[in-house]
A and B are shown apart, each in its own frame.
Chain A
């Protein structure tokens, strides 16, 4: 990936907030590479995020960017996309942001199959708040709120999205950024709800609490845990324990929500007359203020 992606960056916002050894920058570059290869108009791209480490990405990129409340990126993004379907809407979120507090929006956006691309930075932990357990923290692993090992089971986010109705689901890792960038590109080009789950190390929290060594050792752990989808098909359940399956996990053709809604508009007009609206005198807010807005 040797293209110049700096035109998509708000360079004055550097340096990034992310810790040394964090994989988020790699995913961000993979995202920008995808945008560049597709040749999207910067003015027509909207990037929406929630709260957390990954969600800070929206501050660094030169698009229409929206840094929302915790877990709610998809709620805001749904409004943007439906109000103006011409915009390419990309959501940047994390495992906690998307599947704990934002879990409901996540499954329903997938169910609607609304044309939004979700790039989910999965680091198995809450990084920004200091390393608490997330819905993807593997059972038995440690976090500041799980000193004796996580007693809970974890989500398989990609499976969750597929079950909920997403039309494109792929998994990549920062150890293979070229492949991940391709997945993001495919996701953006796909009409419908797309999820790209990106595994990324968090040496500061996840690595430290689980005694995983230096940042490079964190990467090595991911690399060792990764199994391609095709190879995984040949492995037993026992062999797959603790493995991270990567690849395109779902790619199906199904109607997209905004297009379905447009068809509903056509139907509603065909069936009955349109409501008659009163005549409107439209003035600008500036004029209204100047007049002491006698409304």
Chain B
């Protein structure tokens, strides 16, 4: 093999590239320290697995194509307990299948990253067409109460950045993190400039000797240090409600104590976790809220409105959950109308309506026909809201 093609065959990192969201996600995962990937083929996420099946072994790391989505989710939890940063990627139906073990990862506080590339649903739905119908599923898909972190990029470079952030947040908060892409983001080719240096965070390991180690200790941070299997810390991990030792408990007092910490460990850090892109305009009475690929149409619509002399504010959450309540309420106090554009029947608008209360009226711009929302649709909604 000549030198030149050898260089081409290896994935270069950094520099200016043309790539898709799925490619950016796979590359960023490697940069973030991904050591174990398990997955099952499903459109439109499969390229992530294809790339990693090639690149992971080259780095001496592991890839496995499992028999189903359930196994993939279980395998990444197991790998993470063995000390390997792990990830799986899927789409709608596969994400539904992962729910039980996703709940397990929450309950057992096992860091991992789950990528869900949204396609049209429910059921088999629209395998090759974009949608944003899994927003509520990412929050409430598993049974029971738990907090969760869900990141939602708007383009290829942002997919790269948020993939790295997903791994870092998973390590910091000992939790699964969901990276929510949609078919457009996954398959769009964009010119990006990738960073030559990335910041990577590793989980806190115990400093106490094994005999004093409590895998689910109540600490000041509410996030217990985590030992890897095989390192001399012999402990028990269970999906049952457990006390600080990790063993099941049925005592109301212990259950409450655990559940409070379990919720608090993410909720109390909401302000740190939440990222929104604010573009507020002085004097605007109308605002647009949008996320994922739809935010690109929304940004265009906002630009067009402003060119027409209409003042309009724009808010785009990069963190869907925890819900950016503060930013939403702040927006609600500034404007009378909030247009929420999303490729579903109004899932996030519902949450925004609750947050805004009587401060502002929510208008929905929705599509569920596999077509992206066009800037024109949002622009019309802006003009309509301004006239009401």
B248 and A275 form a contact (CB under 8 A): no
The segment from A67-75, A171-179, A226-234 found at the interface with B is: A67-75
A84 in the interface (beta carbon within 8 A): yes
- Interface of chain B: mostly helix, strand, loop or mixed: mixed
B197 and A13 form a contact (CB under 8 A): no
- Closest-by-CB residue of B relative to A283 is B201
The segment from B82-90, B336-344, B376-384 found at the interface with A is: B82-90
A55 to chain B, nearest CB (A): 10
A237 to chain B, nearest CB (A): 33
A273 and B10 form a contact (CB under 8 A): yes
B26 to chain A, nearest CB (A): 10
B189 in the interface (beta carbon within 8 A): no
Say which residue of A42, A72, A79, A295 sits within 8 Å of B36 (CB atoms): A79
Say which residue of B6, B68, B72, B272 sits within 8 Å of A293 (CB atoms): B272
B78 and A108 form a contact (CB under 8 A): no
Alpha-carbon distance between A250 and B302 when the two chains are bound, in angstroms: 69
A82 and B81 form a contact (CB under 8 A): no
A80 and B231 form a contact (CB under 8 A): no
- Closest-by-CB residue of B relative to A43 is B232
A80 and B9 form a contact (CB under 8 A): no
Binary contact readout B122-165 vs A (1 if CB under 8 angstroms, 0 otherwise): 00000000000000000000000000000000000000000011
A282 in the interface (beta carbon within 8 A): yes
A252 in the interface (beta carbon within 8 A): no
Contacts of A269 in B (CB 8 A): 57-58, 60
A28 to chain B, nearest CB (A): 15
Contacts of B104 in A (CB 8 A): 68-69
B229 and A84 form a contact (CB under 8 A): yes
Q: How many A-B residue pairs have CB under 8 A?
A: 230
- Closest-by-CB residue of A relative to B273 is A293
- Closest-by-CB residue of A relative to B174 is A285
A72 and B70 form a contact (CB under 8 A): yes
A: number of interface residues (CB 8 Å): 60
Binary contact readout A44-66 vs B (1 if CB under 8 angstroms, 0 otherwise): 10101000000000110011111
A286 in the interface (beta carbon within 8 A): yes
A292 and B272 form a contact (CB under 8 A): yes
Binary contact readout B227-238 vs A (1 if CB under 8 angstroms, 0 otherwise): 011111111111
B197 and A278 form a contact (CB under 8 A): yes
B388 in the interface (beta carbon within 8 A): no
Alpha-carbon distance between A292 and B274 when the two chains are bound, in angstroms: 12
Contacts of A64 in B (CB 8 A): 81, 229-230, 233-235
B83 and A84 form a contact (CB under 8 A): yes
B230 and A75 form a contact (CB under 8 A): no
Say which residue of A74, A283, A288, A295 sits within 8 Å of B164 (CB atoms): A295
Alpha-carbon distance between A108 and B40 when the two chains are bound, in angstroms: 13
The segment from B27-35, B252-260, B355-363 found at the interface with A is: B27-35
- Chain B residues 248-291 with CB under 8 Å of chain A are 248, 269, 272
The segment from B11-19, B42-50, B113-121, B345-353 found at the interface with A is: B11-19
B71 and A62 form a contact (CB under 8 A): no
A82 and B67 form a contact (CB under 8 A): no
A105 and B71 form a contact (CB under 8 A): yes
B9 and A273 form a contact (CB under 8 A): yes
A80 and B201 form a contact (CB under 8 A): no
Binary contact readout B85-116 vs A (1 if CB under 8 angstroms, 0 otherwise): 01000000000000011001000000000000
Q: Which residues of B come within 8 Å of A, CB atoms?
A: 1, 6-7, 9-14, 30-31, 33, 35-36, 38, 54-55, 57-60, 62, 64, 66-68, 70-84, 86, 100-101, 104, 164-165, 168-169, 171-172, 194-204, 221, 223, 228-240, 247-248, 269, 272
6 CB-based A-B contacts, threshold 8 Å? A72-B71, A278-B13, A282-B201, A285-B172, A289-B172, A295-B168
